[in-house]
Homo-oligomer: A and B are copies of this chain.
Amino acid sequence: MSNAPIGIFDSGLGGLTVLKELMAQLPNESFIYLGDTARLPYGTKSPETIRKYLQQTSSFLANKNVKAIVVACNSASSVVTENETISGIPIYGVINPGADSAINKTAKNRIGIMGTTATITQDSYKKAIHKLAPDTKVFSKACPLLVPLVEEGWHEDPITNLVLHRYLADLMGDGIDTLVLGCTHYPVLKESIKKIVGPYISLVDSAEAISKVLKEKLSEANLISDNQKPYVKFYATDINESFSLMAQRILGTDTKIPVEAVNL
């Protein structure tokens, strides 16, 4: 059981930043990645529809005999309930670990959240933070251009820097000392964001936060793998040319990544 793979689910490819971090933190684990590319974006869908999709994607991963499921997508994470399982397999979202990490980092109790329009409108991080630390001031900024900029491959680019400067101006003016990167695509922009906000604002990367939580949970359950030859398998509900290219870009590899089509 401890050598069983970990399932990762995202609405698309952004969750590969979470996979990359998990691979770094848990080097002997195998992973099964599922991107629901045929139905993305989730952000514009109702919670009822997203729950239905989550049920289908979790079942798919459960049937692959995973030992845990990580929901990398922020919109899907916001419908994951506490201690949720499927066929006894635990399901972990990225919102709570991110909120928890932000509360631990903030000294001034002023946290900023960057996210897609949907994540910001749903206030998922704000709600999770206020549940744990009601007196914390939370400032949110929807940043709808960042995902298309990353998907265009324009990170480390003067245009993206201008966009980031504009998006971050308000949050910096609000006197935040902690900033949550509330979208799976944003870790790709982490270095650029760091340069803009400077050394006195701590960044919270949900990928790092969920990796830490998962490592603890697996450790507690005695489920850390010692597999010397771990593997990663990729599945997607719709495969187009950009999948392989984006996957290589995010995972930082030149090797073509094989992806298997799946119908949910």
Contact = CB atoms under 8 A, between A and B. Distances in A.
Interface of A: 37-38, 40, 44, 117, 121, 144-145, 148-149, 151-152, 158-159, 162-163, 166, 238, 240-242
The DSSP consensus for interface residues of chain A is helix
Nearest to A142: B152
22 contacts: A37-B44, A38-B44, A40-B44, A44-B238, A44-B240, A117-B242, A121-B240, A121-B241, A144-B148, A144-B151, A144-B152, A145-B145, A145-B148, A145-B149, A145-B152, A148-B148, A158-B162, A159-B159, A159-B162, A159-B163, A159-B166, A162-B162
Give how many copies assemble into the complex. Answer: 2
Contacts of A152: 144-145
Contacts of A240: 44, 121
A137 to B, nearest CB: 23
A225 to B, nearest CB: 35
A40 B148 CA distance: 16
